[in-house]
Amino acid sequence: MTALSVNVNKIAVLRNSRGGQEPSVRKAAETVIASGAHGITVHPRPDQRHITPDDVDTLALLCRERGVEYNIEGNPFAPARGGYPGLMALIERTRPMQATLVPDGDGQLTSDHGFDLARDGERLKPYIQQLRAWGIRVSIFMDAGTSDLALAKSLGVDRIELYTGPFAEAFAQGDAGSALASCRQTAQQAQALGMGVNAGHDLSQANLGAFLAAVPNVLEVSIGHALIGEALYDGLETTVRRYLTICQT
Q: Which residue ranges form the domains of the chain, and what is each CATH number? A: 3-248 (3.20.20.70)
47 pLDDT above the threshold of 60: yes
Buried-state track 26-56, b at ≥16 Cβ within 10 A, e below 16: bebbbbbbebebbbbbbbbbbebebbbbebb
**At residue 99, what is the residue type?**
A
57 pLDDT above the threshold of 80: yes
Give the confidence band of 104 by pLDDT, cuts at 50, 70, 90. Answer: confident
- Is-contact 184 214, C-beta < 8 A? yes
Say which of 38, 50, 73, 230 is annotated catalytic. 73
44-53, 146-155, 163-172: range with lowest mean pLDDT: 44-53
Say which of 43, 161, 220, 230 is annotated catalytic. 43
The dihedral sign for the CA sequence 200, 203, 205, 210: negative
- Round the average pLDDT of the chain to a whole number and report it: 95
110 pLDDT above the threshold of 90: no
User: pTM for the complete prediction?
Assistant: 0.95
108 pLDDT above the threshold of 60: no
Percent of the chain with pLDDT over 70: 97
87 pLDDT above the threshold of 80: yes
Active site residue 73: yes
Mean pLDDT of 211-222: 98
Say which of 38, 50, 201, 230 is annotated catalytic. 201
Nearest to 90 by CA among 138, 52, 120: 52
In the three-class reduction of DSSP (H, G, I as helix; E, B as strand; rest coil), residue 83 is classed as: coil
Active site residue 201: yes
